[in-house]
Amino acid sequence: MNKISEVVSCLDGYDPNALRVDKAREAIRACLAPVEDCERVATRAALGRVLAQDVVPGFDVPAHDNSAMDGYAVRAADLRVDGDSRLREIGAALAGRPFHGELGAGECVRVTTGAVMPAGADTVVIQEVVRAESGAVIVPPGQKRRQNTRAAGEDLKTGVAVLGPGRALAPADLGLIASLGIAEVTVRRRLRVAFFSTGDELASVGAPLAEGQVYDSNRYTLYGMLARLGVEIRDMGVVRDDPALLEAAFASGAANADAIVTSGGVSVGEADFTKQMMAKLGEVLFWRIAMRPGRPMAFGRIDAGGSSAYLFGLPGNPVAVMVTFYQFVRDALLHLSGRTDDCAIPLLRVAASHPIRKVAGRTEYQRGVLFEDGGEWKVRTTGQQGSGVLRSMSEANCFIVLEHERGRVEAGEPVQVQLFDGLA
Ligand code: AMP
Ligand code: MG
């Protein structure tokens, strides 16, 4: 394992005291080594897991040319272009019950959606346009060869890999795998993530709140964000600002998890006493990131008894925890889980409905509400943007991502947003 400090010092423009968001992301990415262990799981249990094999069809899907509609399978060559065609119905092909004969000139076969195309037929005429007249089937002109049919292999082709390693399996992928009759797949093992909160002022939910204390809400937001990533979670509770307790917690985290996420204790004043301890346990960098909220953050590795874990030391402020998690930790954990795509949250451009205050020289993640206004999408902020105002996250449905160089935004200007929800 290369030293983290050596890896990051090779990056252009790396400055730990004024680190741009994109640099911080690049620095983290350069240090990550994904989990390699795999396991076999039932297809359904693979939802959200990272595939570790190719999925290669052993046969075409669909296996045969078949009808896309209910109607009549015909021979296009029999159809007149200038008027009605009279055909003789010689049988039926239902989904799952093929017709075993072959169509001759002037013949047709009744078909339902999904029925194997009878031999000789190449076209399906939907039942709604067909008339029955004294035992004959009357097809109007205007039909096109091959219409309303599905070709063998149009979905999946024999021997052509349809899914590959590094892919997080979505509902459609489970369906594709099932359509090949595959009951089990090989996936990477789940990433194990330990997390805890630090702070002498924190009370745990359920305990009474003494004067000057605040309830530990970060462990709840972190729980929610981690649970949605599908990682294995280990909640280590609250750890007091005490070097010995912190050291024990980090060592335990490193022994039992692939990554440790903490909140609090990385701001300049507090970091001093954790720095020495961390230097003893591994290699941790303390950054000041040119962003708001979420300026201080620590990143590194903690070693304990032969195993080690990545450390993401997030700031304590409740909004800063969420912003730094979504902007850095989420992608890092997905990569560590083995995903090979660029798991970034998409940035969409919409118009700002109101002016937004912004200072150039840092990336801001304001909490926004995306709304429709006369057929156009617009975004406004959720009012108070303090990094302790967690309500702003709860009310928001997106981040408004204001780029590093950008200054004040005027009403109507395009801004980038990241949606909190997608198809789930
Ligand atoms: P720190 O980064 O430790 O200096 O904390 C910054 C601010 O966030 C302080 O006001 C803390 O009280 C608050 N804070 C820290 N940890 C938590 C937590 N787990 N839950 C809620 N607030 C917290
Ligand atoms: Mg603290």
Could you write out the DSSP letters of every residue in 3-16?
A: -HHHHHHTSTT--T
> Residue 49 in 3-state DSSP?
coil
Ligand 1 atom with least separation from CA of 270: 4
In 167-251, beta strands by DSSP E: 184-188, 192-198, 202-203, 214-215, 232-239
Query: Which residues have a Cβ under 8 Å from the Cβ of 290 and sit 6 or more positions away?
Result: 18, 19, 20, 21, 361, 362, 363, 404
Question: Which of 197, 214, 219, 390 gets mutated to test ligand 1 (max ligand atoms within 8 A of its CB)?
Answer: 214
Query: How much distance in Å is there from the Cα of 69 to the middle of ligand 2?
Result: 65
Give the pLDDT confidence score for residue 180 in this predicted structure.
Answer: 98
Q: Which residue out of 201, 317, 319 has the highest number of ligand 1 atoms within 8 Å of its CB and is therefore the one to mutate?
A: 317
Name the residue with the closest Cα to ligand 1, atom 16.
Answer: 316
Kindly list the distances between the CA atom of residue 340 and the CA atoms of 38, 282, 376, in Å, as whole numbers in the listed order: 15, 27, 34
Of 263, 288, 289, 393, the one to substitute when testing ligand 1's pocket (max ligand atoms within 8 A of C-beta) is 263
Quick one: tokens of 13?
A: 């423009």
Indicate the top mutation candidate among 195, 196, 198, 202 to test ligand 1's pocket, ranked by most ligand atoms within 8 A of CB: 202
Q: What is the rounded distance in angstroms from the CA atom of residue 361 to the CA atom of residue 290?
A: 7
Neighbours of 221 (CB within 10 A): 18
Sorted by sequence, the CB contacts under 8 Å of residue 330 that are 6+ apart come out as 225, 229, 343, 345
The candidate with the shortest Cα–Cα distance to 420, out of 382, 374, 376, 375, is: 382
| Type of residue found at 85 | S
Strands 214-215 and 202-203, sheet pairing: parallel
What is the DSSP secondary structure assignment for residue 189, as one 8-state letter? P
Query: What stretches in the chain show pLDDT beneath 70?
Result: 1
Question: Do the beta carbons of residue 242 and residue 201 sit within 8 Å?
Answer: no
Could you tell me which residues come within 8 angstroms of residue 307 by beta carbon, excluding any fewer than 6 positions away? 254, 255
What are the tens digits of pLDDT across the range 169-184?
999 999 999 999 999 9
Tell me the best of 217, 218, 267 to mutate to test the pocket of ligand 1, counting ligand atoms within 8 Å of each CB and taking the most.
Answer: 218
Does 218 contact ligand 1 (Cβ within 6 A)? yes
Q: How high is the pLDDT of residue 2?
A: 76
Q: pLDDT tens across 88-133, in order?
A: 999 999 999 999 999 999 999 999 999 999 999 999 999 999 999 9
From the CA of 199, how far away is ligand 2's center (Å)? Answer: 4
Q: Whose alpha carbon is nearest atom 17 of ligand 1? A: 316
pTM over 0.85: yes
Centre of ligand 1 from the C-alpha of residue 417, in Å = 27
270 alpha carbon – ligand 1 mean position (Å): 11
Q: Which ligand has an atom closest to residue 390 CA?
A: 1
CA 264 to ligand 2 centroid distance, Å: 4
Output the pLDDT for position 1: 65
Residue owning the nearest CA to atom 6 of ligand 1 = 316
**Which neighbouring-strand residues pair with 150?**
66
Ligand 1 atom nearest the C-alpha of 198 is 16
What pLDDT is recorded for position 269?
83
Q: Identify the helix (H) or strand (E) that includes residue 309.
A: strand 307-314
Closest residue by CA, ligand 1 atom 3: 264
Distance 186 CA to ligand 1 centre (A): 41
Paired sense of beta strands 348-352 and 376-381, if any: parallel
| Alpha-carbon gap, residue 203 to 209, rounded angstroms | 6
- The ligand whose atoms approach the alpha carbon of 262 most closely is 1
What's the gap in Å between 57 CA and the centre of ligand 2?
54
Question: Mapping DSSP to helix (H, G, I), strand (E, B) and coil, where does residue 86 land?
Answer: strand
Residue 136, classed as helix, strand or coil, is: strand
351, 357, 379 from 412: Cα distances, Å: 5, 14, 10
Q: Give the ligand at the shortest distance from the Cα of 216.
A: 1
Strand, helix or coil at 228?
Answer: helix
Distance CA 132, CA 313 (A): 75
Q: What is the pLDDT of residue 277?
A: 83
